[in-house]
Structure 1
Amino acid sequence: MAQTVPEDNLFVEAQIVEVSKSTACYFPLMSGRYEVKPGMMPFGTCLGNGQADQQVFQIDDNFTHYRQAKLLARAERLSKYYQTCNYSKAVAGAIARLIINRLTQEHPQYFDCQKLTSKTVKFHSQLTQETLYLDADWQLQQVQGSQVVPPYASILDALATQIQEDLTVVCRGSDGSNWLSAVHLCYPNHWSAEEKIGRDFATIHAPVAGMEKINRRGSAIVNTMIDREPMVRFAWGLSTDTRLNHHPKPPPDISVSQWQGRSFDLLHPQLYLRIERQVIWGLPEYEAALFSIRTYFRDCSLVKKDSVLRSKLYAAIQSMTLESLIYKGLVKSKADILQWLS
Structure 2
Amino acid sequence: MLQLLLEAKTVEGSNGAVYYFLPSNGRYEVKPGLIPLADDLGNGQVDQQVFQIDENFAYYRNVKLAGRAERLSKYYQTSNYSHAVASAIAQLIINRLTQEYPQYFHIEHQSNADIKFYNQLTGETLYLDSSYELQKVQPSQVFPLYASTLDALAAQIQEDITVISRTKNGNNWVSAIHLCYPNHWSAEEKIGKDFATVHLPVAGMEKINRRASAIVNTMIMREPMVRFAWGLSTDTHLNHHPEPPPNVPIKQWLGRNFNREHPRLYLRIERQVIWGLPKYEAALFTIRTYFRDCSVIKKDPQLRCKLSAAIESMTPESLIYKGLADSKADILAWLDQV
Q: Encode CA deviations 1:79-137: one digit per residue, 9 max, x unaligned.
A: 00000000000000000000000000000000000101233100000000000011111
Q: Which amino acid aligns with 1:12?
A: L
Q: Give the percent of matched residue pairs that are identical in Structure 1 and Structure 2.
A: 70
Aligned equivalents of 2:163 and 2:210: distance in 1?
21
- Segments of 5+ residues of structure 2 without an aligned counterpart are none
Counterpart CA distance in 1 for 2:7 and 2:49 is 25
Distance 1:285 1:49 in 2: 32
CA distance in 2, matches of 1:173, 1:283: 13
Q: Which residue of structure 2 lines up, in the alignment, with residue 245 of structure 1?
A: 239
User: In the alignment, which residue of structure 1 is the partner of 2:317?
Assistant: 323
2:41 aligns with one of 31, 47, 56: 47
**Which aligned pairs between 1:1-342 and structure 2 lie closer than 5 A?**
5=1, 8-342=2-336
SS of aligned partner of 1:19: coil
Query: Where does structure 1 differ by over 4 angstroms across 4 or more consecutive aligned residues?
Result: none
Residues 238-270 of structure 1: CA deviation (Å, up to 9, x unaligned)? 000000000000111222222112000011100
Cα RMSD (Å): 0.7
Report Cα offsets for 1:191-236 as digits up to 9, x if no partner: 0000000000000000000000000111110000000000000000
The one-letter code matched in structure 2 to 1:29 is P
Q: Secondary structure at the match of 1:234?
A: strand
Q: Which whole-Å CA distance do the structure 2 matches of 1:117 and 1:311 have between them?
A: 60
CA distance in structure 1 between the aligned counterparts of 2:176 and 2:324, rounded to whole angstroms: 30
- Whole-angstrom CA distance in 1 between matches of 2:177 and 2:127: 22
Q: TM-score, normalised by structure 1?
A: 0.97
Shift of 1:142: 1.0
| Number of residue pairs aligned between Structure 1 and Structure 2 | 336
The two structures have a TM-score, normalised by structure 2, of 0.98
- What's the CA shift for 1:145? 1.5
CA deviation map 1:51-87 (0-9, x unaligned): 2102111110000000000000000000000000000
One-letter amino acid matched to 1:65: Y
1:77 counterpart SS class: helix
Structure 1 regions of 5+ residues with no counterpart? none
CA distance in 1, matches of 2:217, 2:84: 19
Question: Match of 2:18, as an amino acid?
Answer: A
Shift of 1:44: 2.4
SS of 2:285's equivalent in the other structure is strand
Separation in 2, partners of 1:35, 1:62: 30
Structure 2: which amino acid aligns with 1:273? L
* Secondary structure, aligned partner of 2:12: helix
Q: Which AA in structure 2 matches 1:209?
A: A
